Structure 1
Amino acid sequence: MAKEEQFGNLEICIVSENKDKINEIQEVLNHFKIKLINCNAKKIEIQNDEINQIALYAALNAYNEVRKPLIVDDSALYIKSLLNFPGPYTSYVYKTIGIKGILKLMEGIKDRSATFKTSLVYVDEKGYKIFEGIVKGIITEEPRGNMGFGFDPIFKPDNANKTFAEMSIKEKNTYSHRAKAALNFGNWIINS
């Protein structure tokens, strides 16, 4: 029997309250016949300059709470001209100054290059593994689109004509940092 068939009924917990994020990851994991279920565990986020450490801490804490194989992800937006701000503080910056605040900080700035990075951590009884996904792009001059979440309306990936917020989940996943991390995870778990 092929390994992919063996995992036909694999269910993995995900620790997240963000339904859009869960849907994006599930869209990728459907290819591997992996179903995500909500863990109902707390996602404890520490202050750290590295998103790998933030995601790992949250994943290990959640695993200690539920004792089931699970994934946790954390993403960060790094804007080159802002010295990689907001970085690991992306969620907080979105909640406080939002898209308008970032665009205000970038007024008159020519270099609009940015990178989105996701760190996805898988934990089970054997330990943990970290999967990363990175996408390069630019910060647009103004918000475009009403799909997605967070800074999606102002992030346009390289080689695309649209912002993430102008794309369907399927289209976004052809570029997205989160989809790349989920694909790395799916390939690893099916082949391990």
Structure 2
Amino acid sequence: MKLLFATNNSNKVKEVQALMPPEIKILSLKDIDCFEDIPETQNTIEGNAIQKAEYIKTHFGYDCFADDTGLEVEALNGAPGVYSARYAGEQKDANDNMNKLLKALQHKTNKNAQFKTVIALNINNKTQTFTGICQGSITTSKQGDKGFGYDPIFKPNNFNFTFAEMDLSTKNSIGHRGKAITKLVEFLKFYELKN
């Protein structure tokens, strides 16, 4: 079974393919020569994931899934949330985003945060969503060079190091995207059996 993942982020493709059973092959937008910016104009993480999956289905005809992830910081009333990728501006630069967040939290004692991923699967013109949440806290400085996005400043609960200091299999086993993908995989296995 081939399934399109509506992303051009090769890090995400790697993370997801590592969690998929071998019979499910993941294609990225690059594989179908789609290099356009897919609209993300909804005001919720779930809304953006659904919008992206529907866009690919409508314009390219592929069964696919899309994800949207946000970092929700308690002391900032859930910000950056749905605006996580462009928190510091349209250039979508991870370092700019992290610097802005660290500055915003400089004088706050509450560093609690959670990563939330919603995956929207559009298959046979039906949409299903799967949510994964990982709770943790924001560090006071960047640590580690693995991962991407906010990984160097997010420390999951019960760990003394950030996502950016973890190997991929550990991150996948406890992380927000891993949890959402696990639910997606369970659904796809059941779907395969039925069809």
Which residues of structure 1 form unaligned runs of 5+? 1-9
Which runs of structure 1 show a deviation greater than 6 angstroms over 4 or more consecutive aligned residues?
none
Seq. identity, %: 29
Which residues of structure 2 form unaligned runs of 5+? none
Cα separation, 2, equivalents of 1:117 and 1:137: 11
Q: Which amino acid aligns with 1:175?
A: I
RMSD (Å) for aligned C-alpha atoms: 1.5
Q: Is 1:183 aligned to 2:182, yes or no?
A: yes
The 8 Å contact of residues 32 and 186 in structure 1, kept in 2 or not, is answered as no
The 8 Å contact of residues 16 and 43 in structure 1, kept in 2 or not, is answered as no
Q: Is 1:33 aligned to 2:32, yes or no?
A: no
Q: Which amino acid aligns with 1:15?
A: A
Specify which of 11, 30, 42 is matched with residue 20 of structure 1: 11
**Residue pairs, 1:90-129, within 5 angstroms:** 90-93=84-87, 95=92, 97-129=96-128
1:45 Cα offset (Å):
2.8
Q: How many residues align?
A: 182
SS at match of 1:173: helix
Cα separation, 2, equivalents of 1:78 and 1:45: 21
Q: Determine the structure 1 residue equivalent to 2:60.
A: 66
1:151 Cα offset (Å):
0.3
Q: Determine the structure 1 residue equivalent to 2:72.
A: 78
Cα separation, 2, equivalents of 1:152 and 1:63: 31
Q: Determine the structure 2 residue equivalent to 1:54.
A: 48
Q: Determine the structure 1 residue equivalent to 2:172.
A: 173
Identify the structure with bigger relative contact order (alpha carbons < 8 Å, sequence gap 6+). Answer: 1
Superimposed CA distance per residue, residues 82-101 of structure 1 (whole angstroms, 9 cap, x where no aligned partner):
11110000000152642111
Cα separation, 2, equivalents of 1:45 and 1:74: 12
Q: Determine the structure 2 residue equivalent to 1:3.
A: none
